[in-house]
């Protein structure tokens, strides 16, 4: 019996997301959803932690924008929204219940 797939390193995950990131605005929750496909049995908390680390690698090349579904991004995050994003897990995996929806937008 083989071991379940492990979560990738943040740099590897950036590489795996390259096509989607280059296609346009990319919602943060899609990072965790991608990880669900790679390592479905990994704990959600580990996926969220990896998503945060991966997004931190991308900030600078990409900007964090808030928006609504299905319209998409509307404007850059405020400082208060950035703080909320750092403290709340829902924007990272559950857009249906999150009060803040965030996209990566090419800067």
Number of structural domains, the chain?
1
Q: Is residue 33 part of a domain?
A: yes
- Considering the entire predicted model, what is its pTM? 0.92
Is residue 36 one of the residues assigned to a domain? yes
CB 103 within 8 A of CB 94: no
Q: Judge whether 2 lies within some domain.
A: no
Whether 37 maps to a domain, the answer reads: yes
pLDDT number for residue 17: 96
Query: The tokens 């990566």 sit on which residue?
Result: 104
Residue whose tokens read 């931190």: 56
pLDDT of residue 1: 57
Identify the segments of the chain with pLDDT beneath 50: none
Instruction: Find the domain containing 64 and state its range.
Output: 10-106
Q: Is residue 3 part of a domain?
A: no
User: Within a domain: residue 4?
Assistant: no
pLDDT score, position 107: 77
Task: Tell whether 1 is covered by a domain.
Answer: no
| Residue 90, domain member (yes or no) | yes
């Amino acid at each position: 019996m083989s071991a379940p797939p492990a979560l990738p390193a943040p740099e590897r995950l950036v590489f795996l997301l390259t096509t989607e990131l280059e296609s346009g605005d990319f919602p943060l929750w899609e990072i965790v959803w991608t990880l669900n496909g790679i390592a479905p049995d990994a704990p959600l908390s580990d996926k969220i932690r990896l998503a945060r680390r991966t997004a931190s690698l991308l900030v600078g090349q990409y900007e964090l924008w808030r928006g609504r579904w299905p319209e998409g991004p509307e404007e850059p995050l405020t400082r208060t929204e950035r703080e909320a994003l750092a403290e709340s897990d829902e924007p990272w995996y559950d857009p249906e219940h999150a009060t803040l929806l965030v996209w990566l937008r090419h800067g």
